[in-house]
Structure 1
């Protein structure tokens, strides 16, 4: 493998060495090529992910539509099931409606308590302020 070794800079005659400008130009071109390649790779990966997200979203929308249409049927079935236990039909529907109102209230309480836990991005604000302060002292 002795023939594949690169010559050391001090072994190359001065007239055959590249200038600093040429080296900088080559480095800039190589960096540009690398960035473009990374962008193309990211685009292809995002495209595949976007297709999967679209498929998943479509499935969730279909499931939601089916659940939306099944809900009234199941509600009526529950009310008639309670009626079959010997309670009046009106009371059966009132029980089902009351149960839904209790569930809605519990979900609303959970939602409000979740919103109260939301805080501003304190670490991001702090690090941004530190960066701005650092840039002001440098500039």
Structure 2
């Protein structure tokens, strides 16, 4: 009778383990489905946000064009229109040159795209481990 009880306990333990495994698998599948749905929704929102950013940039470009036209028209009250346009155009080209040189400097400082501090830290860690291994 004791053996029968042990077998029943073993069988019930096996059943419990099987149920736990099945429930864990089901839970993992459900969590993955939830994650997929959540990522899909976030992707839609990110796409809409990116579209709005693009539209904002295009609208800003038109606004800058209108301001440039206003600057030319404003200068044209004191100068000939062609001279006003030439002055505003030259100022815009000078500004774009300064921005290009500044951007070039920023890009040069960012290259090569290697995390130098992290690389140095890892090298120091490796050297420390090598040192301790050789000391033993």
Aligned to 2:42: 49
1:107 aligns with 2:80: no
Q: In the aligned structure 2, how far is the partner of 1:106 from the partner of 1:18?
A: 80
Q: In the aligned structure 1, how far is the partner of 2:56 from the partner of 2:108?
A: 30
Q: Which of 72, 84, 87 is the matching residue for 2:65?
A: 72
Q: In the aligned structure 1, how far is the partner of 2:103 from the partner of 2:16?
A: 60
Cα deviation, residue 93, structure 1 = 1.0
TM-score after normalising by structure 1: 0.62
Aligned to 1:89: 81
Q: Which of 109, 112, 120 is the matching residue for 1:117?
A: 109
- Which runs of 5 or more structure 2 residues have no equivalent in the other structure? 127-136
Q: In the aligned structure 2, how far is the partner of 1:113 from the partner of 1:24?
A: 63
Aligned to 2:129: none
1:110 and 1:23, CA in 2 relative to 1: closer, same or farther beyond 3 A? farther
Aligned to 1:37: 30
Q: Which region of structure 1 is more displaced relative to structure 2, 110-119 or 27-36? A: 27-36
Tell me the alpha carbon deviations over residues 43-80 of structure 1, each in whole angstroms, 9 at most, x when there is no partner. Answer: 12112211211221222222233333444333222111
Aligned to 1:15: 7
User: How much is the aligned-residue C-alpha RMSD, in angstroms?
Assistant: 3.0
Aligned to 1:58: 51
- Which runs of 5 or more structure 1 residues have no equivalent in the other structure? 1-12, 131-139
Aligned to 2:134: none
Cα deviation, residue 101, structure 1 = 1.0
Aligned pairs, how many? 114
TM-score after normalising by structure 2: 0.63
